[in-house]
Amino acid sequence: MAPRRARSIGTKTTQTNRVATPASPASQAPAQPTGHHAAIAVRHCSFGYRDDPPRPALADVWFEVAPGELVAVIGANGTGKSTLLKLIAGLLAPDHGEVTVGGREVRGPDLGVGFVFQEPRLLPWRSALENVAFPLELAGWSRGAREARARDLLRLVGAPDVERLRPHQLSGGMRQRTAIARALALEPAVLLLDEPFSALDALTRERFNVALQSIWRTTGTTILLVTHSISEAIFLADRVVVLAGRPGRIVAQVPIRLGRPRSLVDLDASIVSDVSAAIRAALEREELA
C-alpha cells in the first residue's frame, strides 16, 4: 500500500480546554472541532475512579483525531493518559461528556478499535501465532484463515520467526511486537497504544518507533499513542496533545511540522528542539500553576 501521508503535516484543527501558547513552530491552532469527519472525538469528557476517597482522573477533556492521523498524548504520571485511552476503547464509560469513534458514540468495546496495553498482556498458554489469532478466533474465523492472517501480521510487525514460541520465550520487544500484531488482527480503523515501548531500552525503542511508523504508513490506521517520551512523540506524531494536572486536562496541542517518512536523523533538526521546548513549557507551566 502506498504511503498516504503528505509531507509537512501539522496544521490540524485543534481545541484545548486550556490552550497553552507555546513558541513557534509548535503554535496552537485553537478552533471549534467539526466532529463530522473525526476518527476519534472526545468531547467535554470527565472521569473519576470511584475509590475511597474518589479519584478524579480527567476533567472536561476535548480533542479530536482525524482519520489516518497519528496523535501522541504526553503527560506526567497520574494525568489520566491511560484512562483517556480506556474511555476511547470503551473499557471505561465517561462520567460526563461523550466519546465517538468513527462518528458513533462509544458504548463499550468496539472491534474497530485495537488496543495495545502498556504490558504486552499475551496469553501465556498460547504461542505468539495463537496470541495474534486470538481476536480472530473470538470473531469466529476458521483456523486456517486466522493462522494465515496471524502469520501475515507477524511479518508486518517484524516478528516472523517467533510464531511457535510462547510469550515467556520471547524478548520484551518481541512480546510487544506480537501484542501490536494482535491489536491489528481485525483491521481496526483506530489503534490505541498505551506506552507500548516503555519497558524497552532506548536503542530498541528507537528501532520500534521506526517500525511503528512503517506499520502506520502501511495500514493507514488512525493511531493515538500515549507516551512519556517527548522525542518519541515528536518522531511519530502529527500532533502532540499535552495532558497535565490532577485530574488531567489538555493544556496544549502541538502540531509537528516534520515531513514523512521520518528517520531518526530528523530528531536532530532544530525544529525538534523548538517543539520539544514548547511541550516542556506547557508541562512546566501547568506544574507551576
Q: Given candidates 35, 109, 259, 261, which one binds another protein under the rule CB under 8 A?
A: 109
Residue 190 phi, psi (nearest 5): -130, 135
Long-range contacts, 128-132 (Cβ 8 Å, 24+): 128/154, 128/159, 128/162, 128/163, 128/164, 128/165, 128/166, 128/167, 128/170, 128/174, 128/178, 129/154, 129/163, 129/164, 131/167, 131/178, 131/179, 131/182, 132/178, 132/181, 132/182, 132/185
Is 166 a binding residue for another protein by CB under 8 A? The answer is yes
Residues 6+ apart with CB under 8 A from 182: 122, 131, 132, 134, 135, 153
Question: Of 12-20, 42-50, 116-124, 222-230, which segment contacts another protein by CB under 8 A?
Answer: 116-124
Nearer of residues 19 and 186 to another protein, judged by Cβ: 186
Is 93 a binding residue for another protein by CB under 8 A? The answer is no
Is 199 a binding residue for another protein by CB under 8 A? The answer is no
Q: Given candidates 23, 31, 93, 138, which one binds another protein under the rule CB under 8 A?
A: 138
Q: Given candidates 167, 245, 247, 248, which one binds another protein under the rule CB under 8 A?
A: 167
Is 141 a binding residue for another protein by CB under 8 A? The answer is no
Q: How far is the CB of 111 from another protein (least distance, A)?
A: 6
Q: Given candidates 7, 50, 107, 168, which one binds another protein under the rule CB under 8 A?
A: 168
Is 135 a binding residue for another protein by CB under 8 A? The answer is yes
Number of H helices, E strands in the chain: 7, 10
- Residues at the site binding another protein, with contacts judged by CB under 8 A: 89, 91, 108-111, 113, 115, 117, 119, 121, 123-125, 134-135, 137-139, 166-169, 186
